[in-house]
Structure 1
Amino acid sequence: MKNVYIYIALTGMFLNGMVCLGQKKGTEFSYFNLAVPKDTPTVFASGIISTHHNEYNSTFSPDGNVILYTIANNTYYNRFYTIFICKRIKGQWTSPEIVSFSGQYSDADPFFTPDGKGVYFISTRPVVGKAVKEDFDIWYVSYQNETFGKPQHLGNQINSSNDELYPSVSAKGNLYFATENKKTGYDLMISAYKNGQFQKPVGISDSINTDNTEFDAFVAPDESYIIYTSMGGKNNVGSGDLYISFHKGNQWTAGKNLGHNLNSKHMDQCPMVSPDGRLLFFTSFRDSQPYHFEKPVSTSAYLKILNSPLNGLGNIFWVDLHMVLNTL
């Protein structure tokens, strides 16, 4: 059955127009039976998805019954990424486990296609032979009858000898991703999908790509807006902030910081909007760990902090996107 999208108009104070978010009709979503947050970001599924580990980039299947996300090890020089999966079966969510196509090589940044028939992700796995790549390339794996197929490399039209990161795909099949730029760090690219093939990638827009680093972009299914991370912007709250840009006519508007209530003094990245267009998920390295104590802390109390979310490693947060936009 084809996806049917209802468009919900959201007005922000910084807009002269409206933005439409895609929502799949007739789908009932349940996020681990949790109460949906409002305009203040909260840790998502604490102790289940967000733990004392390093969690990144979540993505939901269009029916809301599958979540994929990434866990990274904590070593600085040899970081290894693995994609995990949880499924909702008869109303109950399964425990997280490594997804079938991951666990051998460094894999990250999963993204469910809007039709739910496949997942894009990045990997250092060998393209030819057994040599593991030193950079990340974009791959695709089909998903049919609740089973993942064999990962396929997207080829040299998309991939290069540098990193390609965080793929996001529109309903038309257009591919958005970040590519490494030796001068500015990373830039956002788009590869149009025409006649069954990806075209040569081009920079998304000078109004988005700047002399700073832009990466980790989520594009709306109808390509009406894009949410991304920028490092070093003049309005940044932390080391990396989330911004939003709207597609008007044939142009993208200048990125707008999503505000101090959402962004923190730490790194905020990996935006992903829920299939119903309502909720924004993202990764943040914010913490609640004190920098000193009123009196010496006990061993058990300190280990409890270290073994809990908000210990300074990455956690997945969620927030009501509509409410965030209305506060800008």
Structure 2
Amino acid sequence: MRHIWTVNTLLFSLLVISSQGHGQDFSQDFSQVKKPRLEGRYLGQKPPGLTAEPFAPSIVNTHDWGDAGHFSPDMNEFYVIRWRVNNGKRETQSVSFKKVDHGWQQTATPYTSHIPFDSPDGKTQYFGAQYRELTETGWSEMKSLGPAFEAIRIMGLTASRNGTLVLDEMGASDGDGVIRYSRLVDGKHQAPKPLPEAINTGKWNAHPFIAADESYLIWNSERESGYGDTDLYISFRQPDGAWGEAINLGNEVNTKAEEGGAQVTPDGKYLFFNRMVPQAGSDGEPQSDLYWIDAQIIEQLRPKTLSL
């Protein structure tokens, strides 16, 4: 059962969040809520160690909603998207935390806004098969990555510092769970090609995250070697440029529940991901919460022959 992935599609697939068909307008809710002043680099949260912990309970992770989020490249803004099913109808809520002076201010964002995936330098924003670039006068008009990208139902897309794109797909003619990459050559992205079997093995492979220097790739996969449902795996780039075997991130990250949607903070210090957890005091379906863990866990898994 893959509950989170349609939700992560909203966050990582960079889709438009529209008020139509998504339930009530939440702007009044936020006008009545006293916004706490949060001090510190990570919304005032105490950084975790090498065991994953929920990120910002009751601030980002909420009791009644499924939650996901990520930092902007300059780490001065944290985007959150929330969702739930209420009386059979899907409701969505978008929130932003902006760094103001030495604190953070919470605001509701309109459903007509976008939550993009940013390139490491913050100069390009990707929205599935489309993107826009930062110019001297602001953001450009939306552009297409090309017909080869438009033919793929992209859920998650990530970019390296060199412009390499890694993306997943859903419902393609050759099956769900194929992760592809696209090199940037002479200013144009090549048609996406499947990554090797080390990556594309198992029942489900999705929501990739490629390191800015392309030294590793993290994604979620459902495999017999896992702890239960979908787990997070990592593959390290080998000296010859090939991708190494898939390594399970272990029981400090993965559980019997679904884990996925990995991302490393722009400063490289923490790994964020989503986990499906039971709602407190409820017999209903589990919902997604955002977790984080010290990114040193990546270095612990990196083969010594590849140590930086």
TM-score using structure 2 length: 0.74
Cα displacement (A) at 1:312: 2.4
The whole-number CA distance in structure 1 between the counterparts of 2:278 and 2:137 is 36
How many residues of Structure 1 are paired with residues of Structure 2 in the alignment?
260
* 1:314 maps onto 2:288 in alignment: yes
Cα displacement (A) at 1:144: 6.8
**Deviation per CA, 1:188-217, whole angstroms, max 9, x where unpaired?**
100111111111110122211124211101
2:306 match: none
Compare 142-151 and 219-228 and name the one that shifted more: 142-151
Which of the pair is proportionally richer in helix?
2
The whole-number CA distance in structure 1 between the counterparts of 2:88 and 2:215 is 38
* 1:63 maps onto 2:81 in alignment: no
Q: Which of 137, 159, 164 matches 1:174?
A: 164
2:101 match: 90
**Deviation per CA, 1:106-136, whole angstroms, max 9, x where unpaired?**
x66x3221101232234xxxxxxxxxxxxxx
1:115 match: 121
CA contact (8 A) 2:279 2:287 kept: no
The whole-number CA distance in structure 2 between the counterparts of 1:86 and 1:190 is 32
CA contact (8 A) 1:140 1:154 kept: yes
The whole-number CA distance in structure 2 between the counterparts of 1:146 and 1:255 is 43
The whole-number CA distance in structure 2 between the counterparts of 1:284 and 1:264 is 9
Identity of aligned residues (%): 25
Instruction: For structure 2, list consecutive stretches of 5 or more residues without a partner in the other structure.
Output: 1-39, 303-308
Distance 1:213 1:48, change over 3 A: same
Cα displacement (A) at 1:72: 3.0
The whole-number CA distance in structure 2 between the counterparts of 1:118 and 1:275 is 15
Cα displacement (A) at 1:286: 2.2
* 1:256 maps onto 2:262 in alignment: no
Matches within 5 A, 1:3-22: none
Distance 1:322 1:273, change over 3 A: same
The whole-number CA distance in structure 1 between the counterparts of 2:177 and 2:246 is 16
The whole-number CA distance in structure 2 between the counterparts of 1:140 and 1:66 is 20
SS in 2 for 1:140: strand
Q: Which amino acid aligns with 2:123?
A: K
CA contact (8 A) 2:124 2:131 kept: yes
Q: Which of 145, 149, 158 matches 2:149?
A: 158
* 1:53 maps onto 2:65 in alignment: yes
1:216 match: 207
The whole-number CA distance in structure 2 between the counterparts of 1:146 and 1:243 is 40
Cα displacement (A) at 1:84: 4.0
The whole-number CA distance in structure 2 between the counterparts of 1:187 and 1:69 is 27
Distance 1:68 1:146, change over 3 A: farther
1:198 match: 189
Instruction: For structure 1, list consecutive stretches of 5 or more residues without a partner in the other structure.
Output: 1-28, 123-137, 290-301
SS in 2 for 1:275: coil
Matches within 5 A, 1:120-135: 120-122=126-128
Q: Which amino acid aligns with 1:117?
A: K
Cα displacement (A) at 1:322: 0.5
CA contact (8 A) 1:216 1:269 kept: yes
Q: Which amino acid aligns with 1:246?
A: F
Compare 86-95 and 32-41 and name the one that shifted more: 86-95
Distance 1:86 1:30, change over 3 A: same
Distance 1:34 1:211, change over 3 A: closer
The whole-number CA distance in structure 2 between the counterparts of 1:76 and 1:223 is 44
Q: Which of 271, 287, 294 matches 2:278?
A: 287
The whole-number CA distance in structure 2 between the counterparts of 1:84 and 1:147 is 23
Cα displacement (A) at 1:271: 0.3
Q: Which amino acid aligns with 1:214?
A: N
